[in-house]
Copies of this chain bind each other. A is one copy, B any other.
Amino acid sequence: MGDAKRNTSSSSSGSDEEIRAQVAKAVEEVKELQDKAASFVSRAATDEQSLRQRAQSLDSSIRRLRSQLYSLLSSKALDHKLAEKLEEDLQRATCVLVDGEAASFLPGKSQGGGFLRMFLGPINVRSSSKDIQLKVKEEYNAYRDRTALLFLIFPATLLILRSWIWDGCLPAFPVQAYQAWLLFLYTGLALRENILRVNGSDIRPWWIYHHYCAVFMALVSLTWEIKGQPNCSQKQRGVQLFLQWAMMQGVAMLLQNRYQRQRLYTRIALGKAKRMDVVWGETAGVDGQLWILCPILFVLQGFEAYVGIQLLTTAFIGVVSEWQVSFCGVLLVLMAVGNFVNTVQTLMVKSRF
């Protein structure tokens, strides 16, 4: 019936045929692509699985060998010199395994999984390509640069306007907008750092916890009532301290960024994986900077603790009695102590090489 109908139509059967053939070809090609894609996906999954198993078993056999080495050494069954050489071989193998292309097939660091899972669900944020991992890291640095500037400018503007225009009395809205921005910012940083960690960064867990604390602090500060006149400057003492702390954070971030960007670029330029640098003594010339950076960081951390204690004092002598003030005070002191301890530990690890 279809044929009969088609014959009655006066269409040029040339173009009929042509488009029919083209459509058939497209359909055929789609099927082909579908098959290719399916086989690619399943093949890649199998390959990945086997690489993963292989990486894991090598990782554990290196661990086993290392402990064997130690026990042989302690029972004096092995020559010291040989043991050292073997130890170095194993170390080098570990470096290749952990920092090379195979690294993405080792099980990810579990820490941070919780936070990411909470926000994103069971999605994989691990990239198996070194290039993308590097891009993510660079973008993270760029993000921090952008925010560090705002970190300085935003609270500084608030404090300047306060004394010049607002007569010593901050209006609630801009302060709250700032706090909301902080909340958003720290959440983003915490998410990104967790992603970096999953992608093999050696970032210390504390720096991530530190941002969790900052998230909490921003959240709590949002609920903290910004009181107005009369007696404004006294009632707003807490807010003022908070803004000063934020400015100081901006300074710390800018300095740290400068150092860390250079560190990354040197590393990329050298084309070497990080752990190897350290183990083989090529510390890439930025560690000198660390000895200038750290004293400044210590001063800033001291100031952080000072702001925390000031907040606690205003809370306890009853000038501002809201729980938010003491809560932020405690958090600040905790963060200062944690930052200090972790900076010192970083320095100690570095100076060991």
Is A132 in contact with chain B by the CB < 8 A criterion? yes
| Contact yes or no, A33 B102, CB < 8 A | yes
Which of B9, B72, B81, B135 is the one whose CB lies under 8 Å from A6?
Answer: B81
| Contact yes or no, A123 B119, CB < 8 A | no
With A78-B11, A78-B15 known as contacts, the answer to whether A187 contacts B188 (CB < 8 A) is: no
**Bound-complex Cα distance A192 to B41 (A):** 24
Interface of chain A residues 60 through 87 with chain B (CB within 8 A): 61-62, 65, 68-69, 72, 76-82, 85-86
Contact with B along A106-150 (1 / 0, CB 8 A): 000000000000111111110111101001100110010000000
| Contact yes or no, B123 A16, CB < 8 A | no
| Contact yes or no, B82 A192, CB < 8 A | no
With A30-B97, A41-B101 known as contacts, the answer to whether A77 contacts B121 (CB < 8 A) is: no
What residues of chain B lie closer than 8 Å to A26, measured between beta carbons? 58, 61-62, 65, 90, 93
A84 nearest CB neighbor, chain B only:
B2
Is A219 in contact with chain B by the CB < 8 A criterion? yes
A61 nearest CB neighbor, chain B only:
B26
**Bound-complex Cα distance A208 to B86 (A):** 57
Which of B6, B37, B62, B225 is the one whose CB lies under 8 Å from A82?
Answer: B6
Interface of chain A, main secondary structure:
helix
What residues of chain B lie closer than 8 Å to A130, measured between beta carbons? 41
Which of B9, B15, B129, B191 is the one whose CB lies under 8 Å from A41?
Answer: B129
Is A202 in contact with chain B by the CB < 8 A criterion? no
Is A319 in contact with chain B by the CB < 8 A criterion? no
What residues of chain B lie closer than 8 Å to A15, measured between beta carbons? 72, 77-78
| Contact yes or no, A97 B12, CB < 8 A | no
What residues of chain B lie closer than 8 Å to A180, measured between beta carbons? 219, 223
A51 nearest CB neighbor, chain B only:
B37
A272 to nearest B CB, angstroms?
14
Residues of A with Cβ closer than 8 Å to B? Answer: 2, 5-6, 9, 11-12, 15-16, 19-20, 22-24, 26-27, 29-31, 33-34, 36-38, 40-41, 44-45, 47-48, 51, 54-55, 58, 61-62, 65, 68-69, 72, 76-82, 85-86, 89-90, 92-93, 96-97, 100-102, 104-105, 118-125, 127-130, 132, 135-136, 139-140, 143, 172-173, 176, 180, 183, 187-188, 191-192, 195, 219, 222-223, 225, 323
Given A16-B82, A30-B97, A119-B188, output 5 extra A-B contacts at Cβ < 8 Å: A5-B79, A20-B82, A36-B102, A123-B127, A223-B223
